[in-house]
Amino acid sequence: MGTTTMARTPDVGADAADAARALVERGRAAMRTLEGADQDRVDDAVRALAWAVYEPTRARALAELAVEDTGLGNVEDKVIKNQRKTFGTLRDLLRVRTVGVIEEDRAKGIVKYAKPVGVVAAVTPSTNPVATPVNKAMMALKGRNAVVIAPSPSGWTATARTVDAMRAELRKAGFAEDLVQILPAPVTKGLTQALMQACDLLVVTGSQDNVRRAYSSGTPAIGVGAGNVAVIVDASADLDDAARKIAASKTFDNSTSCSSENALVIVDAVYDAMVDALKRAGGYMATPDERKHVLERLWVNGKLNREVIARDCDVLAKALGLPEAAQKARFVMVEETGVGRDYPFSGEKLSLVLAVYRASDFEAAKALGGKILAWQGMGHSIGIHTDDMDHARSLAEDLNVVRVLVNQAHTFGNGGSFDNGLPFTLSMGCGTWAGNSISENLNWRHFINVTHLVTTIPEDKPSEEELFGGYWERYGKGEGA
């Protein structure tokens, strides 16, 4: 089981507390305008938010601003992310009911009614200052809630523009703009903490410090875990297919996603052939001497160097002191053997640097994958490229992980895909292994309360023999105390 370190709670001044309470009260007033709305009307509010970001001109403008604002990722991939995640989430949301009766089980005499949770505070990261805010806002409004976005300070401008677009679309469709609000600049830890304490539900994606503070805020909270994805390449894998998917996933938005591959564990039987396939797919394998340069420059004083993370490969490779061949590649590979504090490459790198491990066989690869997760990324996810589903099932059965992806580009599949059944999201719950309250993708179900109408049914009371008979047979009845 993962361990949780208590975060220091920042001081909340009177001004911050008053500002947060005012935003929450405006959200409550906006929610009251939805009290009589039917499902179609609520769905129009969700569509309004989706169109605010999906519309092609805005999707590009917001992507450009996000890169300009944060210096992280690249424009073309953020355009795709803004549209694909929003479209997929809208698909999921329009297929479910969140108003009135949402489920009826006549055999059990239970009817379920959906109710709002209240004003949601959504803490969002600098890596996704556009896609994550609209994703959470859509889910919140689907439950007839209001939302206040608490963005990363470095992404505030892009998030504020996104919120402006959502509010404009709500106004156009006749909804209260205050269904979606944002903390004013400058966003401080004290102001974010005040919002955490004033809202009805807190949903946090981003720094683990924020997640820990959310869980200690006194407000019902949903936080998600840190990523550090390991992907196993099995002996039966289609190597070129695996290499193409890994390359596409690793390079998407310059590896800003928590679902991006950080380590490959390749079984010995196909190690050399897989490395060759990765090179054909655009990877550059650093020599042992070059690996030292990468190690020295990717981390500064034990922390990832913000000047090189999430940068294009030519910029990254040049900053890391790598040759022209690396600058022309799509991503950089470094061979690694160990896991833990003394092996920085075994952790999340938020860059186009991929650690590559050699394992003797599948069992050794599975053990190594579990060790990487235990060091960083506990509960998050693991992937495998294989033609042996027994191996895939073995990962799911034996590892403390929420998602096991089989033969998929991890970044595109982990947060929902049009060719798998996971719900679209930008927030991956990692279970109690990571100190999280959910062990699934964040989705609409987390933004509703449920009232249960309960009526009587024919008595369902088994006999003592039915319940205890097997036990008595095996162990006897014994004597009373």
User: Is 313 noted as a catalytic residue in this protein?
Assistant: no
Structure tokens, 276: 């060759």
> Active-site residue among 199, 258, 313, 430?
258
Give residue 138's Cα distance to chain centre: 16
Question: Which strands, in side-by-side order, build the sheet including 448-454?
Answer: 100-105, 110-116, 448-454
CA dihedral 138→143→144→148, nearest 10 degrees, is -50
* Separation of alpha carbons 135 and 372, rounded Å: 29
Among 220, 260, 205, 250, CA closest to 434? 205
Strand partners, 261: 229
List the catalytic residues: 258
